[in-house]
Amino acid sequence: MSEEKLVGDQKDTSLGKVASWRAQAVQLAAIVAVVFIAKGALAEPFYVPSGSMEPTLLIGDALLASKYPYGYGAASLPIQLTLPETGRLFGETPKRGDVVVFRWPGDRSQAWVKRVVGLPGDHIQMRQGQLFINDHAAALKPDGVAQAEDDRGNTERAYRFVETLPNGVSHAIFKMRDNGRLDNTPEVIVPPGKLFVLGDNRDNSADSRVSVRDGGVGLLPIDNLIGRADAVVGSWDLGIRNQPVWTWLSGFRLARFFTSVH
């Protein structure tokens, strides 16, 4: 009787361990599912690797992009899959001035961030470095001098302006030089289903002024939108990597943590 009881106890213990492992596996699967759904439907973090959106976004910023403002499509998925484009569910067109995260048309595995300035039907042109939308100039107000940083950690003197779009949205931009190669462009009529986007660092941004073939965005398909960049949740100055390791903590830009994107 004692041997039989011992065997029975061992079986019960084994079954209990199996049940425990199954419960943990189910919990883990549930957590993964919740994270996947949240990233796909609510918001997803992204990292800023270049200075094309300075001074609004800095190299080393960690962004949170909200998915719901523009609806959902293949580009909204947290993992990149090649799916046929079938339009967007609950689709909404961005507003002028929105900072958007999107799949680069040249390689949809890459996520880029730019500012929307042109909507379908708009006439867009750059004239001597000033943006014109439907033949109305975006006002420029001088706002001092700053330092623009490039991908290699080098800095360059930049003139800061506050640009106000015709719909009243204001944001800061950088201009590093007069008569830049993208300061004068032909007028473009934005076709249906497309957007015209610019970087806030106007002399260091391959945006809608540059074709995809030449490494730019060209006219951005709305279906490529991932979401709207709403907040900087963290930031670390990558230039600190050239300093001793014990100084790296000083690279955190605490003033930028949990700030909104304008």
The CA-based dihedral angle spanning residues 45, 49, 51, 52, taken in that order and rounded to the nearest 10 degrees = -70
Residue 10 CA to residue 73 CA, distance in Å, equals 52
Backbone angles phi, psi at 243, to 5 degrees: -100, 165
Active-site residue 67, yes or no?
no
Instruction: Provide the residue type at 258 as one letter.
Output: F
Residue with tokens 């014990």: 246
Residue of 136, 131, 106 whose CA lies nearest to 116? 131
Cβ atoms of 140 and 152 within 8 Å: the answer is: no
Instruction: Name the residue among 163, 153, 218, 140 with its Cα closest to residue 185.
Output: 218
Query: Quick check: 113 and 187 in contact, CB under 8 A?
Result: no
Identified catalytic residue from 52, 76, 205, 235:
52
100 CB-near residues (< 8 Å, 6+ apart): 70, 94, 113, 114, 115, 116, 195, 197, 225, 226, 227, 228, 229
Phi, psi of 177 (to 5 degrees): -155, 155
Please check whether residue 55 is in contact with residue 232, taking contact to mean a CB–CB distance below 8 angstroms: no
* Alpha carbon of residue 171 to chain centroid: 17
Which member of 67, 114, 175, 194 is catalytic? 114
Active site residue 17: no
Give catalytic residue positions. 52, 114
